[in-house]
């Protein structure tokens, strides 16, 4: 705090001023905007790495028969794809948005703990190297699935230990990041910025941060138990010593289901900023949005066993978890209705962020519906561990979380770089992504219904057609993402100068009170909000 | 977009209709149900899917109407409402009512599914990495069920058969119309026994016994796959159930019992190298080739090569010990003493020592194995 | 500014405490679930036998099952595969176990029930699974299980399976 304060109001020369330059600037930075940028680039690199693994998976699945790899390598690919995308791509991207936007949106000069912020980020590359490096140790990377189920995960080599340590490091990073965000939001709001005046993005992140603090330690506990079971003779999950393999699933999903909402609540926040902006109309039902988000977060702690309907739970438990899971449809529905009501009788324009936001609402809802189908226990019994589940969570995480990230990047690029992005390329990116996304994942519903299990490297002949279609979609979708890279690089280099309020309908502080690009230090004197 | 999504939705429905008649080879929907529970699940899924499609069409119909009409380019001016308690209550209550309507049939199906009481027969299913074992305690029948698809089909050097990856050497055989109770457990990691046509999927968990049941409507062959990631060959441990008429089933049971009595090669006899090698090749293909590979090249470091291996070409006592009792240093090596007979163990060791690029010329006799067991 | 820093620190400390507590909570879930199972009647082992009265009007089939954990070179089998009994009746069955190896092996049998909820009504009075079993090389042994199925077994349960899985224990005395 002292340091940032010392720089005073001198916005004119942002970058100089005794800051290290070059690489060291990024290693030592405590500036929330720098760290946000680091998070976003890290996440993009992880997206490409995880995507490459996914393309290898789809290449093997292009037709029946084992063509380009051995089954155990296939399992390593699915495991690492999951871990990298969840912990390396989606979560850090949202933390990146939080770093950039939360201080600007609440009128704070920086995050509450800038140095801790720096550590939170720089733990990530360490964890990523552990994960990616594990491909090169004897026996190859972890192959037990990103869910790390015992006892399968108790088998296997050193790479499983590397994965456990990576998860620990990622957990510590997330917890520190979350503490920072909670403290910033609670303590550093500008005068007059009451909780119920905060932009919805800030609200969703506040709730997400609490979820992170609550469940990341539980995951850390679960993987620590795996570690001691593997090496120190404990028997938490080992039936031989009186443990219960299913217990791991209980603990994992106690983390895992809130984790799903950790990946989607900030997305709701981004979409709730974008839709009102491009509808030129205030968000419909702001208060009910806040309550819906909170109730989703609370319900997320009561539904974990819907991931375990086939382990042979008692009937009463199956009924309870089915009802609890179905309830989540209500607050989620409220959100969708609110977004549509926001558009209703607006004055809409359709720039790239809005296009991605609309696609988000539609496609996320499809993911929600398939989630409802899966919530019905008897139907879930048929679909558990099939491609239907794969389709479901990719509709939620790709057309949900990832599309909201795309939307947010296009939305705030003008504020970050001071230039408008190339609208034509942006729209191209949108259309190719949306079309190929559906080509890739919609057929997986059919595959799952027809009974194709997930995580198999080879399949029966009746699944061949749709797998081929999905693989074609995968390559289309994967390659389309390079357009995003081009757009971002072009936008950083130059382009039409962005105004302070780059979007006509934007009304949060970063648009109304700050120029574009946002100066290195902002709101050192807090703005007054009325 | 809407048109695209809607046509996909409708297309999906149309597919379901046209596919309803097709059994087994479903491509778009759940396979034709062949048991009461599967029927209930099938109907439940169709109901919920159509409800979802209907809601989707209504809600997004409204949204796309708005997108078409309320555009700035058409000169539409933004209204400024941002709250309406009444409508917010309505769209909370209506979904709640719909959910209750869905929960009722779903709950009924759960209660029915879970009622494993009064079975006509019991079969015990033990899952191994990567095969199934079926045991009929009442009949004293017990056998392993392995993938029957030849390696060259998987590797693409031979054309793939009709039931590629969904065929086994010994299917589970049950009589039609009888309530079959399954008791499931696993030997190593969690597996899951699933046959969609019967609406059944139950995890097999090491150290725990789980029960479930099915009653097949019609004779026929029904197929499924292991549905919980269980390691390397998770994709290669299918489930095949043959449903026979009571009469055929009884014949099958009698034949199995007779076969059990006859097929066992006499463990007291002395066999020639050629006899043992020939039998050992089969044992090897079924039990060893998955890890050590058909060529004996293995998959180091976890699954060592047998060709030229110090154990396989060294003193036979060490070789017999590791096959019978498992790897002391390498937990991946299974102890075969309890699953394989004396003849099988003797034969497979003889095979390994005289094939796969090894040639010790030694024959191991079943009697030697038998002696070690005592 | 310093007041601000102090406030931030307070929140930091509180949230760190929460995350440490949640780490502990992960571990606490294990006894918590076990307790939950006790309360709801899906527990595995309760040895207390309530005063039971035989119910001669009702029949229950009890099946006996045996499994060996990975790599335990033993033979392990029930001498009786199933029994028809009345709830409340005390019965005994034998399991046979043989060590096939040349070394002494310590094993522990883990019981499991199908359906799982029947476990709460299945009382073992004596069982080889209460302690570790040490088998000398090639030793063969018959081991008893004495049990009673309680009267209050839910009416819709007609068949109970008692299943044991024997696991090798690293060394005698070790966990």
DSSP, residue by residue, A19-34: ---HHHHHHH---HHH
Confirm whether C78 is domain-assigned.
Answer: yes
- Cα–Cα distance, A522 to B215 (Å, whole number): 70
Of the candidates A153, C165, A307, A452, the residue with the CA atom closest to the CA atom of residue B183: C165
* Partner-chain contact C67 B115, CB within 8 Å: no
Residues of chain B in contact with residue A280, where contact means CB-CB under 8 angstroms, are: 72, 78
Contacts of B126 (CB under 8 A, 6+ apart): B132, B133, B135, B184, B185, B186, B187, B204, C67
Q: Which residues contact B156 (CB under 8 A, 6 or more apart)?
A: A65, A66, A67
Q: Tell me which residue in B55, B110, B190 faces A315 most closely, judged by beta carbons.
A: B110
Structure tokens at B178: 């009888």
Domain match, C74 and C109 both:
yes
Instruction: Please give, one letter per residue, the 3-state secondary structure of chain B.
Output: CHHHHHHHHHHHHHHHHHHCCCCCCCCCCCCCCCCHHHHHHHHHHHHHHHHHHHHHHHHHHHHHHHHHHCECCCCCCCCCCCCCHHHHHHHHHHHHHHHHHHHHHHHHHHHHHCCCCCCCEEEEEEEECCEEEEEECCCCEEEEECECCCHHHHCCCCCCCCCCCCCECCCEEEECCCCEEEEEEECCCCEEEEEHHHCEEEEECECCCEEEEECCCCCEEEEEECCCCCCCCHHHCEEEEEEECHHHHHHHHHHHHHHHHHHCCCCCCCCCHHHHHHHHHHHHHHHCHHHHCCCCCCECCCECCCCCCHHHHCCHHHHHHHHHHCCCCCCCCCCCCCCCCHHHHHHHHHHHHHCCCCCCCCCCCHHHHHHHHC
Residue A69 CB neighbour total at 10 angstroms: 16
How far apart, in whole angstroms, are the C-alpha atoms of residue B168 and residue A93? 47
pLDDT in tens, A303-342: 999 999 999 888 888 999 999 999 999 999 999 999 999 9
Same domain, C71 and C104: yes
Contact A461/A64 with Cβ under 8 angstroms? yes
Most B CBs within 10 Å, among C58, C70, C119, to test the B interface: C70
Q: Are C149 and C50 in contact (CB under 8 A)?
A: no
* Both structure tokens of B249: 């089933």
Verify that C80 and C165 share a domain, yes or no. yes
C19 and C99: one domain?
A: no
Interface of B with A in 180-199 (CB under 8 A): 188-190, 192, 194, 196, 199
**C159 interaction partners in chain B (CB closer than 8 Å):** 116-119, 122, 181
Residue C106, SS3? Answer: strand
How are beta strands B238-244 and B172-175 bridged, if at all? parallel
Contact B211 C161 (CB under 8 A): yes
Q: What whole-number distance in Å separates Cα of residue A384 and Cα of residue B113?
A: 16
Please check whether residue A236 is in contact with residue A225, taking contact to mean a CB–CB distance below 8 angstroms.
yes
3-class secondary-structure state, position C154: coil
- 3-state DSSP call for residue C99? strand
Number of neighbouring beta carbons within 10 Å of residue B36: 16
Which residues lie below 8 Å from residue A432, measured CB to CB, with a gap of 6+?
A476, A477, A480, A483
Please tell me whether residues C89 and C168 are part of one structural domain: yes
Residues C17 and C66 in one domain: no
Cβ separation B183–C65 shorter than 8 A = yes
CA distance B239 to chain A (A): 12
Asked if the structure places residue C97 within a domain, the reply is yes
Cβ distance C64 to C81 under 8 Å? yes
Q: Which residue has the tokens 């690492």?
A: A80
Q: Which residue has the higher pLDDT, C29 or A457?
A: A457
Residues of chain A scoring pLDDT < 50: 1-16
Under a CB-based contact definition with an 8 Å cutoff, are residues A179 and A186 in contact?
no
Q: Do C70 and B115 touch (CB under 8 A)?
A: no
Alpha-carbon dihedral sign for residues A216, A222, A227, A228: positive
| pLDDT score at B12 | 52
pLDDT score of B29: 86
* Same-domain status, C36 and C95: no
pLDDT given at position C40 = 57
Average pLDDT over residues C146-164: 83
C10 vs A355: CA distance, rounded Å: 43
Q: Are A161 and A154 in contact (CB under 8 A)?
A: no
Q: Which residue of A has its CA nearest to B19?
A: A450
Mind telling me how many Å the CA of C80 is from chain A's nearest CA?
24
Task: Establish if C37 belongs to a structural domain.
Answer: yes
Q: Which secondary structure element, helix H or strand E, spans residue A413, and what is its range?
A: helix A403-417
- Mutation target to probe the A interface, by most A beta carbons within 10 A, among C11, C39, C40, C107 is C11
> Is C67 found in the same domain as C21?
no
Q: Could you tell me how far CA A34 lies from the centroid of its own chain?
A: 20
Per-residue pLDDT of chain B (374 residues; tens, 9 = 90+): 444 444 455 455 544 444 443 444 567 888 889 898 999 999 999 999 999 999 999 999 999 999 999 999 998 888 888 888 899 999 999 999 999 999 999 999 998 888 777 788 989 999 998 899 999 988 888 899 999 999 889 988 889 888 999 999 999 999 999 999 999 999 889 999 999 999 999 999 998 888 899 999 999 999 999 999 999 999 999 999 999 999 999 999 998 888 776 556 667 777 778 878 878 888 887 788 777 877 888 877 777 888 888 888 888 888 888 888 887 777 678 778 777 888 888 888 888 888 888 888 888 888 888 787 75
Confidence of residue C173 (pLDDT cuts 50, 70, 90): very low
Pick from A183, A218, A220: which is nearest to C11 by CB?
A183
A307: annotated active-site residue: yes
Decide: C96 and C140 in contact? Cβ < 8 Å.
yes
Q: Are residues C98 and C17 both part of a single domain?
A: no
Q: Are B188 and B92 in contact (CB under 8 A)?
A: no
Tell me how far apart the alpha carbons of residues A455 and B24 are, in angstroms, rounded to a whole number. Answer: 21
3-state secondary structure of A313: coil
Say what the pTM is: 0.85
Helix axes A32-60, A403-417, angle to 10 degrees: 140
Cβ-based contacts of A236 with chain B (< 8 Å): none
Give which of C165, C168, C100, C163 is closest to C133, Cα–Cα: C168
The whole-angstrom distance between residue C96's C-alpha and the CA centroid of its chain comes to 19
Distance CA A301, CA A325 (A): 10
Pair (C124, C170) in one structural domain: yes
| Residue C85 domain-assigned (yes or no) | yes
Q: Answer whether B208 touches A (CB < 8 Å).
A: yes
List phi, psi (to 5°) of A210. Answer: -65, -40
What is the reported pLDDT for B97?
A: 94
Integer CA distances (angstroms), A353 to A85, A272, A478, B135, in order = 22, 12, 20, 60
How many Å apart are CA C87 and CA C158, to the nearest integer? 11
A14 CB burial (10 A radius; 0-12, 13-18, 19+): middle
Number of domains forming the structure of chain C: 2
Residues of B with Cβ-Cβ distance to C156 under 8 angstroms: 115, 117
Q: Is residue C72 part of a domain?
A: yes
Structure tokens, A332:
């989620």
C30–A218 C-beta distance less than 8 A? no
Better pLDDT: B230 or C3: B230
Q: Distance between CA atoms of A156 and A151, rounded to whole angstroms?
A: 10
Tokens representing B284 are: 């090897």
- The reply to whether residue C15 touches residue A241, judged by beta carbons under 8 angstroms, is no
- Same domain? For C84 and C153 the reply is yes
Domain range holding C131?
Answer: 60-174
For CA atoms A507, A513, A517, A522, the dihedral sign is: negative
A189 an active-site residue? no
Q: Hey, what are B147's tokens? A: 């993938």
Q: What is the pLDDT of residue C37?
A: 66
pLDDT tier for residue C38 given thresholds of 50, 70 and 90? low
Strand, helix or coil at C105? strand
The SS3 call for residue C9 is: helix
Do C37 and C93 share a domain, yes or no? Answer: no
Q: In this structure, are residues B164 and B205 in contact, taking their beta carbons and an 8 Å threshold? A: no
C168 vs A contacts (CB less than 8 Å) = 240
Is residue A174 part of the annotated active site? The answer reads yes
Give residue A5's pLDDT.
41
In a domain, C51, yes or no: no
Residue C54 lies in a domain: no
- In Å, how far is B319's CA from the nearest CA of chain C? 15
Cα(B110)–Cα(A117) distance, integer angstroms: 49
Using omega within 30 degrees of 0 as the cis cutoff, is the peptide bond preceding A169 cis? no
Instruction: Assess contact for A404 and A345: CB atoms under 8 A.
Output: no
The SS3 call for residue C31 is helix
pLDDT given for residue C51 in this prediction: 52
Tokens (6 digits) for C98: 């043989």
For the cut 80, the answer to whether the pLDDT of residue C97 exceeds it is: yes
Nearest Cα residue in chain C from A223: C26
Cα Rg for chain B, rounded, in angstroms?
A: 28
Query: Does residue C55 lie within any of the structural domains?
Result: no
- CA dist B16 and B34 (Å) reads 17
């Amino acid at each position: 705090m002292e340091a940032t304060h010392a720089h005073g109001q001198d916005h004119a020369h942002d970058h100089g001023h005794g800051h290290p330059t070059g690489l060291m600037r990024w290693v030592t930075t405590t500036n929330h905007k720098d760290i946000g940028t680091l998070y976003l680039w890290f996440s993009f690199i992880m997206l490409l790495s995880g995507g490459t693994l996914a393309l290898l998976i789809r290449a093997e699945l292009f037709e029946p028969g084992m063509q380009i790899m051995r089954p155990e390598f296939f399992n390593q690919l699915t495991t690492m794809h999951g871990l990298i995308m969840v912990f390396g791509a989606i979560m850090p991207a949202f933390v990146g948005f939080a770093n950039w936007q939360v201080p600007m949106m609440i009128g704070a000069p920086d995050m509450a703990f800038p140095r801790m912020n720096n550590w939170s980020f720089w733990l990530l590359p360490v964890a990523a190297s552990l994960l990616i490096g594990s491909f090169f140790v004897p026996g190859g990377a972890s192959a037990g699935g990103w869910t790390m189920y015992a006892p399968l995960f108790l088998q296997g080599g050193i790479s499983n230990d590397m994965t456990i340590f990576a998860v620990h490091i990622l957990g510590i990073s997330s917890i520190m990041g979350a503490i920072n965000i909670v403290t910033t939001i609670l303590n550093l709001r500008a005068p007059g910025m009451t909780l119920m005046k905060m932009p919805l993005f800030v609200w969703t992140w506040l709730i997400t941060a609490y979820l992170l603090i609550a469940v990341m330690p539980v995951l850390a506990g679960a993987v620590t138990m795996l570690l001691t079971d593997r090496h120190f003779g404990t028997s938490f999950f080992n039936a031989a010593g009186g443990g219960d393999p299913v217990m791991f699933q209980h603990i994992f999903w106690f983390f895992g289901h809130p984790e799903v909402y950790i990946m989607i609540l900030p997305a709701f926040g981004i979409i709730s900023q974008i839709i009102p902006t491009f509808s030129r109309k205030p968000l419909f039902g702001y208060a009910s949005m806040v309550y819906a988000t909170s109730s989703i977060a609370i319900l997320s702690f009561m539904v974990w066993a819907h991931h375990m309907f086939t382990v042979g739970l008692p009937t009463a438990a199956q009924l309870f978890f089915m009802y609890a899971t179905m309830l989540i449809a209500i607050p989620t529905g409220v959100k969708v209705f609110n977004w549509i009501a926001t558009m209703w009788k607006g004055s809409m324009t359709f720039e790239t962020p809005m296009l991605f936001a609309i696609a988000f609402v539609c496609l996320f809802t499809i993911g929600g519906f398939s989630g409802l189908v899966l919530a019905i226990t008897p139907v879930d019994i048929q679909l558990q561990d099939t491609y239907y589940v794969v389709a479901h969570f990719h509709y939620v995480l790709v057309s949900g979380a990832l599309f909201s990230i795309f939307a947010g990047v296009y939305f705030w690029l003008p504020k970050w770089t001071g230039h408008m992005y190339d609208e034509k390329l942006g729209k191209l990116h949108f259309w190719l992504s949306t079309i190929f996304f559906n080509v890739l994942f919609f057929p997986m519903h059919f595959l799952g219904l027809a009974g194709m299990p997930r995580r198999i490297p080879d399949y029966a002949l009746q699944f061949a057609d749709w797998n081929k279609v999905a693989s074609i979609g995968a390559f289309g979708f994967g390659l389309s993402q390079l357009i995003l890279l081009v757009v971002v690089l072009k936008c950083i280099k130059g382009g039409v100068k962005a105004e302070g309020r780059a979007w006509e309908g934007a009304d949060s502080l970063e648009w109304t009170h700050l120029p574009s690009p946002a100066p290195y230090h902002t709101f050192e004197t807090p703005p007054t909000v009325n | 977009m809407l048109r695209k999504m809607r046509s996909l939705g409708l297309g999906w429905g149309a597919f379901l209709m046209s596919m309803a008649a097709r059994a087994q080879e479903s491509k778009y929907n759940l396979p034709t149900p062949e048991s009461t529970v599967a029927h209930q699940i099938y109907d439940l899924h169709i109901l919920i899917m159509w409800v979802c499609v209907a809601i989707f069409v209504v809600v997004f119909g409204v949204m796309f109407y708005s997108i078409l009409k309320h555009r700035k380019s058409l000169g539409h001016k933004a209204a400024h409402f941002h709250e309406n308690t009444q409508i917010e209550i309505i769209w909370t209550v209506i979904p709640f009512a719909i959910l209750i309507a869905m929960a009722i049939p779903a709950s009924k199906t759960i209660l029915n599914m879970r009622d494993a009481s009064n079975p006509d027969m019991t079969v015990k299913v033990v899952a191994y990495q990567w095969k199934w074992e079926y045991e009929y305690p009442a009949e004293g029948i017990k056998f392993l069920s392995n993938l029957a698809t030849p390696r060259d089909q998987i590797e693409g050097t031979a054309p793939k058969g009709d039931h590629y990856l969904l065929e086994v050497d010994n299917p589970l055989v049950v009589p039609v119309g009888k309530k079959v109770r399954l008791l499931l457990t696993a030997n190593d990691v969690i597996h899951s026994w699933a046959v969609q046509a019967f609406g059944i999927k139950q995890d097999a968990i090491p150290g725990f016994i789980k029960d479930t049941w099915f009653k097949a409507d019609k004779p026929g062959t029904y197929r499924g796959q292991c549905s919980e990631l269980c390691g390397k060959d998770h994709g290669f441990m299918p489930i095949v159930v043959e449903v026979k008429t009571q009469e055929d089933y009884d014949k099958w049971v009698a034949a199995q019992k007779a076969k059990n009595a006859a097929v066992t090669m006499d463990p007291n006899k002395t066999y020639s190298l050629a006899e043992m090698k020939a039998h050992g090749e089969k044992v090897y293909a079924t039990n060893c080739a998955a890890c050590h590979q058909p060529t004996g090249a293995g998959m180091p470091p976890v699954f060592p090569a047998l060709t030229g291996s110090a154990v396989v070409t060294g003193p036979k006592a060490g070789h017999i010990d590791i096959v019978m009792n498992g790897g002391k240093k390498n937990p991946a090596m299974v102890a075969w003493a309890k699953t394989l007979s004396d003849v099988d163990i003797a034969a497979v060791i003889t095979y390994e020592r005289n094939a796969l690029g090894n040639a010790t010329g030694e024959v191991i006799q079943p009697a030697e194995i038998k002696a070690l067991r005592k | 500014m310093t007041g601000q820093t102090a406030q931030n620190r307070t929140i930091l400390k509180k949230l760190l405490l929460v995350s440490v507590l949640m780490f502990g909570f992960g571990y606490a879930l294990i006894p918590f679930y076990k307790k939950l199972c006790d309360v709801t009647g899906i527990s595995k082992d309760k040895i207390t036998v309530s005063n039971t009265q035989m119910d001669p009007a009702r029949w229950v089939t009890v099946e006996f099952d045996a499994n060996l954990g990975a790599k335990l070179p033993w033979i392990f089998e029930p001498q009786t595969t199933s029994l028809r009994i009345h709830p409340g009746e005390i019965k005994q069955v034998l399991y046979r176990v043989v060590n096939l190896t040349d070394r002494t092996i310590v094993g522990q049998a883990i019981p499991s029930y199908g359906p799982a909820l029947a476990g709460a009504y299945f009382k073992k009075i004596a069982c080889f699974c209460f302690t570790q079993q040490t088998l000398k090389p090639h030793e063969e042994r018959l081991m008893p299980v004495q049990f009673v199925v309680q009267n209050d077994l839910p009416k819709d349960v007609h068949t109970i399976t008692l299943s044991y899985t024997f696991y090798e224990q690293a060394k005698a005395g070790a966990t």
